[in-house]
Structure 1
Amino acid sequence: MKSQFFHKHPKTLLNKGTGFLAGYSHSLNPYAGCSFGCSYCYVRQMPVSLFRGEEWGTWVDIKRGAADLLRKELARAKQKGKVTIFMSSSTDPYQPIEYQEGVTRSLLEVMVEDPPDFLLVQTRSPLVQRDIDLFLPFKDRVRVSMTIETDREEIRKQFTPGAPPIPGRLKALQHLADAGVPTQAAIAPVLPSSKAFPAKLAGVVRRVCVDDYFMGDGSGGKRTRNLGVDSLYERLGLEEWYHPAAWRIVYDRLKEVFSDDQVYVSQEGFVP
């Protein structure tokens, strides 16, 4: 699926943290739209996508002047109190166009100069390891959360064919951890995986968060249901994995490998 790219000049970058992100003072999206176009992405059902009138995954807005705008907004926000930032809530900050545009890197450079109290970086792209030099100055005030929904590439190809392969994500997490950057694996949403999945993660990270459509799409699973994702599970004969209790399969397996203080569920795994 090819994406079209548009240059926009936003009037604001920092948005108030609400709903699932109520633990954060702000969310920050370097782009609008996302080339990865994951089949189950809840953003497909949000105004940023619905009002666009174009299929999610086929367009990306590149935010021009983002660094200068963030510099001003961040300074103002810090005058009002504690600033905690979730990057990103409705796009991937390290989608392919970031290789050329570097919007996300420019925002990190601003935040290194004037650090927020905490920054969570949510991505599924190995490109995130490019910015290790900018994460290190944050010390323990940053966490890179890498989406790894499954360890089965054949499943990843069915649900997120446009997203980076799982082995590349695991290698990136290892690279980040080896460099001393705080990390976590986000099994979000839970997709069908093997019994060996927890052991594979244990060799790379010491913190894991489990989430699913029903807890994590911001509508009790309604947005995901509207996307018809259940029909994909049916076609693949994996109906038992599309269920409000399916996350327990992975959670119980994780608890055999990780300690209690290393495994988090849904919202608690993403808070500062």
Structure 2
Amino acid sequence: MKTEYLYKQPKTLLNKGTGFLTGYSHSLNPYTGCAFGCSYCYVRKMPVSLFRNKEWGTWVDIKKDAAEVFRKELLRARTKGPVTIFMSSSTDPYQPIEHKERITRSLLEVMAQNPPDFLLVQTRSPLVRRDIDLLLRLGEKVRVSMTVETDLDEIRKHFSPQAPPIQARLKTLQLLKEAGVQAQAAIAPVLPSSEAFPDKLRPLVDRICIDDYFMGDGSSGKRTKQMGIHKWYEPLGLEEWHDPSAYQIVYERMKRVFSAEQIYISQQGFEH
């Protein structure tokens, strides 16, 4: 899938935390659009995608000079109260173009100089390991939330062929732990996985977040239903995994190796 890249000059970077992100004062998106183009991404049914009239995953806007805009906004926001940031809510801050453009790194550099009260970095990309030096400077004020929807790469390839391999994500969690960066595994959305999944995560993280379409797409599953995601399960013969109760399969498995205090469900798992 070919992706079109455009440079845009942003007027603002920080957006007020609303809806699913009411636990945060702000959300922060270094890019608009996402080249990973996951089949189940709820952003496909949000205005940012619908008004574009192009297939989600085929376009990305690069926010030029984002760091300078963000620096001023962050200073201004700090005068009004605690600043807690969710990065990112409608894109992946470490999608492939970040290798070249380094927009996300430039924003982290600003935060390393003037830390927010808390930052959650939500990604599915191993590229986050590049910025361990900056994440360490934020110390207890940052957590990396690495999406690991399944432990089966053949399932990942079916639902999100452009996204990074599962093993690379697990390796990244290992590197974050070894470096001393707070991290969690976000099983979001819950995809079919094996009984060995918990044992693969146990050495890597002390915190798990489990979320699905029905709890986590911001519309009680309506956006996902409009996309016809259930059809993706039929060729695999795994329709039972597309059900509001399917997350409980994963939850029960995780409880075998993680304590109840280490497992978070949906929105609470993304909060600080």
Task: Please name the residue that 1:138 is paired with.
Answer: 138
Matched residue SS, 1:158: helix
How far does residue 250 in structure 1 lie from its aligned partner after superposition?
Answer: 0.1
AA aligned opposite 2:185: A
Cα distance in 1 for residues equivalent to 2:236 and 2:87: 33
Cα distance in 2 for residues equivalent to 1:99 and 1:232: 31
Task: Please name the residue that 2:54 is paired with.
Answer: 54
Task: Please name the residue that 2:183 is paired with.
Answer: 183
Cα distance in 1 for residues equivalent to 2:270 and 2:133: 23
How far does residue 137 in structure 1 lie from its aligned partner after superposition?
Answer: 1.1
Deviations 1:93-133 (A, max 9, x none): 00000000000000000001110000000000000000000
Cα distance in 2 for residues equivalent to 1:160 and 1:177: 26
Cα distance in 1 for residues equivalent to 2:183 and 2:69: 28
Cα distance in 2 for residues equivalent to 1:139 and 1:33: 29
Give the fraction of aligned pairs with identical amino acids, expressed as a percent: 70
Task: Please name the residue that 1:113 is paired with.
Answer: 113
Matched residue SS, 2:139: helix
Matched residue SS, 1:80: coil
How far does residue 176 in structure 1 lie from its aligned partner after superposition?
Answer: 0.6
Task: Please name the residue that 1:79 is paired with.
Answer: 79
Cα distance in 2 for residues equivalent to 1:30 and 1:194: 34
Cα distance in 2 for residues equivalent to 1:138 and 1:107: 12
Task: Please name the residue that 1:26 is paired with.
Answer: 26
Deviating runs (4+, > 4 A) in structure 1? none
Matched residue SS, 1:151: coil
Cα distance in 2 for residues equivalent to 1:106 and 1:171: 24
Deviations 1:61-97 (A, max 9, x none): 0001100000000000000000000000000000000
Deviations 1:8-32 (A, max 9, x none): 0011000000000000000000000
AA aligned opposite 1:77: A
TM-score (norm 1): 0.99
Mapping for residues 128-207 of structure 1, pairs under 5 Å: 128-207=128-207
Task: Structure 1: give runs of 5+ residues left out of the alignment.
Answer: none
Deviations 1:217-246 (A, max 9, x none): 000001011111101112221110000010
Report the RMSD for the aligned CA atoms in angstroms. Answer: 0.5
Task: Structure 2: give runs of 5+ residues left out of the alignment.
Answer: none
1:11 aligns to 2:11 (yes or no): yes
Mapping for residues 229-240 of structure 1, pairs under 5 Å: 229-240=229-240
Cα distance in 2 for residues equivalent to 1:110 and 1:138: 11
Cα distance in 2 for residues equivalent to 1:164 and 1:129: 13
TM-score (norm 2): 0.99
How far does residue 45 in structure 1 lie from its aligned partner after superposition?
Answer: 0.3
